Amino acid sequence: MSGTFVGMPAFPEAARVAVGDPTLRANLRHATHTIRDKRARAVAELDDWTELREAGRRIKDLTLRHLDTHLLQLEEAVTAAGGTVHWAADAAEANRIVTGLVRATGETEVVKVKSMATQEIGLNEHLAAEGIAAYETDLAELIVQLGEDRPSHILVPAIHRNRGEIRDIFRERMAAWGRPAPDGLGDAPAELAEAARLHLREKFLRAKVGISGANFMVAETGTLVVVESEGNGRMCLTLPETLISVVGIEKVVPTWRDLEVFLQTLPRSSTAERMNPYTSMWTGTADGDGPRAFHLVLLDNGRTDALADEVGRQALRCIRCSACLNVCPVYERAGGHAYGSVYPGPIGAVLTPQLRGTASEVDASLPYASSLCGACYDVCPVAIDIPGILVHLRQRVAEEGGKGHRLERAAVRAASWLLDRPAALAAGERLASASRAVLPKRLPGPGVGRWTEHRDLPELPAEPFRDWWRKNRA
C-alpha cells in the first residue's frame, strides 16, 4: 500500500485535534446518525437479513480460500471477452501500468469513477507528476479534489463538509478545473448538484480514457460490476474509448448466483436503498457499444500478506459499505482524516495495518483507534469480527515493540521477575503500604501519564493482604 498521508501524526494526536473542531463534529454527527438510521430501517425490511449476512460471509471465506483459482478463471474469461489483464504486486507497479496505458492512447487527461483502490495507490498524484490530469466525477470526490482535501469516509468522502463550505469551494475552485460555478451560486443542494453536473458534463463528453475500480468481479464470465447513485459512473464506463479498471484481488466472486447475495446487502448497508440507482456491468469489449479497449489491473498491494493471517484475513471480506463507520463512536468524534489512510473508521483500523504493515507510528496506532464496543461487528453485512482483529493486531504491535510498547514489555518482564520471588514481592508490598501517603495519585511520564491522565491509581491499603491474612487467618 502507498504511504500514509504526508505529515499525518499518529491517531491519538490527530484525533485530539479533530475532537476540538465543533463544526467537524456537528457535520459528522448529523451525517452518520442520518445514514445509520436509514440503514436500520432498510435492513429491517428483510426477514432473511441474518441468513443473507451469513451467506455473504461464507461466500467470501470460500472464495478467499481458493482465491488463486478464481483469479485465474477471471483472467481467462476477461481475455476471452476482449479485455487485457495486468497483474500488479504493489502500488508502484500498478501506477506504472496505468500510466503506460494512458500514454499509449496519446491522451493527457482521464475521467474517474470513485475508486478506493486508486486512492490507495495514490494514482491521481502519480498521473499528475507524469503530466496527466485525472478528474474525479463522483460529486463527493469532486468536492474533495476541488478543495485540495482528503476523503474522510468510504461512501461519502466529503462527509466532513457542510453545504456552505461546498458552495465556497465551488465558487473559488471550479474555474481552475474547467467550467466555473454559476454566478450567485447558493448552498441549496439542487443548486450545488446542478453546478457539478454542468462542470462535469464537459469532461464526460471530451474524455477518451476512463479509469474505474469495481465493487465486484464475477470469475465465471469476467464481468465487472460498479454500483453507484449518481450516474457519473455510467458515463465514465460507457463514453470513453479506453477503460482501465484497477481492482483489488479480493473483489472477485465465483458466480452470478454469489453476486446476487451482495447486490441485496450492499445497497441496504451503504446507502439504505433497496437497490442502487445505477448498477453497471461490463464484460470485455463489444463492437459499437462502450469502450473499444478494456484493461483490468489486478492489485495485490499487501492483500496476499493479509490473506496469510488466519485472523486478519477476515478484513478481505469487506464490501466497502461503510456501515461500520456510521455506528462507530470513535469515528463520529474524530472523523476520517485522523486515521491517516484512505480507509478510515473501524475497517480502516484493521485493513490498513495489514496492507501497509505497522512500521510507521500512524499504522501502529490504528489498532488502538477503537473502544471495542462491537457495534461495527453487529452491522457488518459480511460479519467481519473487527473487534477480534483489533485485539489480534494490538498483540502484533506490542510484540514488535513499537513506540510505547518497549516500556510496557519492560514492565511486564519486571513484574514477572517479582512475581516469581515471593520474598521480594512481600518486601515490595510492605514498602508500598508504608509509603502510601507520599505516593502520587497519577504516574508521571509522557506515555504512562497519558494513560492515567483521567484515571487515579488505586489507593493502597494500610497493610499488604498477606500480612493481614497471617494475623487474622493463621
Give the C-alpha distances (Å, rounded to integers) separating 436 from 161, 374, 432, 457, 466.
Answer: 52, 39, 6, 11, 17
**Buried-state track 445-468, b at ≥16 Cβ within 10 A, e below 16:** eeeeeeeeeeeeeeeeeeebeeee
Model confidence pLDDT, tens digit, residues 394-444: 999 988 876 656 667 777 888 899 889 988 888 888 888 888 777 777 766
What integer is the mean pLDDT of 89-102?
A: 98
- Residues 6 or more apart whose Cβ sits within 8 Å of residue 339: 11, 14, 345, 348, 349, 352, 366, 369
Reported as a pLDDT band with limits 50, 70 and 90, residue 6 is very low
Res. 452: pLDDT tops 70: no
Three cell numbers, residue 35: 445514514
The reported pLDDT for the residue numbered 412 is 81
- Residues 6 or more apart whose Cβ sits within 8 Å of residue 404: 447
Whether 100 and 84 have beta carbons less than 8 Å apart is answered as: no
- Residues 6 or more apart whose Cβ sits within 8 Å of residue 210: 110, 111, 112, 113, 236, 237, 239, 240, 242, 243, 244, 291
For residue 290, give the 3-state DSSP assignment: coil
Res. 375: pLDDT tops 90: yes
What integer is the mean pLDDT of 356-383?
A: 94
* CA-based nearest residue to 95, from 157, 2, 5: 2
Res. 3: pLDDT tops 50: no
What integer is the mean pLDDT of 229-243?
A: 94
The reported pLDDT for the residue numbered 443 is 66
Res. 448: pLDDT tops 90: no
Res. 296: pLDDT tops 50: yes
Reported as a pLDDT band with limits 50, 70 and 90, residue 118 is very high
* CA-based nearest residue to 32, from 159, 140, 127: 159
Q: What is the mean pLDDT of the chain?
A: 92
Whether 333 and 17 have beta carbons less than 8 Å apart is answered as: no
Model confidence pLDDT, tens digit, residues 188-233: 999 999 999 999 999 999 999 999 999 999 999 999 999 999 999 9
The reported pLDDT for the residue numbered 434 is 84
* Percentage above 70 pLDDT, the chain: 93
What integer is the mean pLDDT of 269-278?
A: 93
Res. 100: pLDDT tops 80: yes
What integer is the mean pLDDT of 65-72?
A: 98
What integer is the mean pLDDT of 147-172?
A: 93
CA distance 153 to 28: 10
Three cell numbers, residue 460: 493502597
Three cell numbers, residue 150: 482528503
pTM, full prediction? 0.86
Of 54-58, 141-145, 313-317, 405-409, give the lowest mean pLDDT range: 405-409
Whether 301 and 355 have beta carbons less than 8 Å apart is answered as: yes
Render 1-38 in DSSP notation, one character per residue.
-PPPPTT---HHHHHHHHTT-HHHHHHHHHHHHHHHHH
Neighbouring C-beta atoms of residue 163, cutoff 10 Å: 14
The reported pLDDT for the residue numbered 2 is 47
Whether 344 and 325 have beta carbons less than 8 Å apart is answered as: yes
How big is the chain by its Cα radius of gyration, in Å?
26
The reported pLDDT for the residue numbered 204 is 94
Strands 223-228 vs 278-283: parallel, antiparallel or unpaired: antiparallel
Strand-pair partners of 278 = 228
Res. 56: pLDDT tops 60: yes
